[in-house]
Structure 1
Amino acid sequence: MSTKTATTEQFSSKDFHQTFARPQYVKPPYLIHKNVEQAGVHNQFSTERKHPVFFVDLPSKNVSMTIGGLLPGQMTNRHRHTYETVLYVLEGKGWTEIEDERVEWEAGDAVYIPSWAWHRHKNLSDAEPAKYIACENAPQLQNLGVALREEEGRDL
């Protein structure tokens, strides 16, 4: 009778189809980030992206969430990244250019940005800001070491 346990089992490439994993609840350090926007914009990220961004600080290892803002008339730099993005528009009207397609959006719409697609966002109002929630699988790819982001005109 073997005394090996699931936690000491060693696998090699031939064992890719096997697993002894068992789900287990691990209590995270916290479950809520209250008053996200009261914490203020993330200065470095906002400056680099050229629009206000508020990080939602939760202990997820797979999904991130930010609140993005576009000032009146503002357009972001064209960029791309290896992670997917889903935007949910809270306020305003604008468009997102994804590769060679322009998608117009307004409050209540959701927009999907595929991985590695060149894209940028534009607020169509010259008087009112636009605001959206962005959900991305960036932490998952960062933890795997494969998250990349590229700004148009800059090297990786």
Structure 2
Amino acid sequence: MTKPETTSAAMEIQEEQKQFSSKDFHKTYARPVYVKPSHLIHRNIVNAGEHNQFSTERKHPVYFVDLPSKNVSLTIGGLLPGQVTNRHRHTYETVLYVLEGKGWTEIEDERIEWQTGDAVYIPSWAWHRHQNLSDTEPAKYIACENAPQLQNLGVALREEEGRDL
């Protein structure tokens, strides 16, 4: 009985799932291999629904973009009129792009005012919180983070002031 040949696609999947230790350094290859992801588009993100647990914890609506990236995440966040979030910090970096509204983000002891079209950088492990300055209109932003990369390395941490301290 002969063993069936392994297809290149099967070999790629095996390589992707293989775990290496420091003794295997010589077995890693510097040639990237394309592995077809499960999907390339997430349609109608907001219509797909709010991430209830995260939104409740954050005290504002959050919509996760469900794409198979292993290095960056993208979420759509919102602040209700007049809303202030809890202070929190995390080991991953965040870049916010403001889609709608005016507000501020406090990073450590510095308050950064923002409005539609601005981008705000939040460094890793910096205490921060956000506020919508309008009492009548919501604010909306896109957040891009390197959280999946750090989660895959086992070093992603997040701390909520008053809960985790």
TM-score (normalizing by structure 1): 0.88
Partners of 1:121 and 1:25 in 2: CA distance = 39
Q: Pick one of 96, 111, 116 that aligns with 2:105.
A: 96
Q: Which residue of 1 aligns with 2:122?
A: 113
Q: Which residue of 1 aligns with 2:75?
A: 66
Q: Pick one of 132, 142, 146 that aligns with 2:151.
A: 142
Partners of 1:65 and 1:55 in 2: CA distance = 7
CA RMSD of aligned residues (A): 2.1
Q: Pick one of 32, 38, 41 that aligns with 1:23.
A: 32
Structure 1 runs (4+) greater than 6 angstroms displaced: none
Q: Pick one of 120, 132, 147 that aligns with 1:123.
A: 132
**Residue 11 (structure 1) shift:** 7.3
Determine if the alignment matches structure 1 residue 47 to structure 2 residue 56. yes
Determine if the alignment matches structure 1 residue 56 to structure 2 residue 62. no
Q: Pick one of 136, 141, 147 that aligns with 1:132.
A: 141
Partners of 1:12 and 1:59 in 2: CA distance = 27
Q: Which residue of 2 aligns with 1:4?
A: none
Partners of 2:86 and 2:163 in 1: CA distance = 11
SS of alignment partner, residue 126 of structure 1? coil
Partners of 2:159 and 2:145 in 1: CA distance = 16
Structure 1's unaligned 5+ residue stretches are 1-6
**Residue 154 (structure 1) shift:** 2.3
1:130 maps to a residue whose letter is A
State, as a whole percentage, how many aligned pairs show the same letter: 84
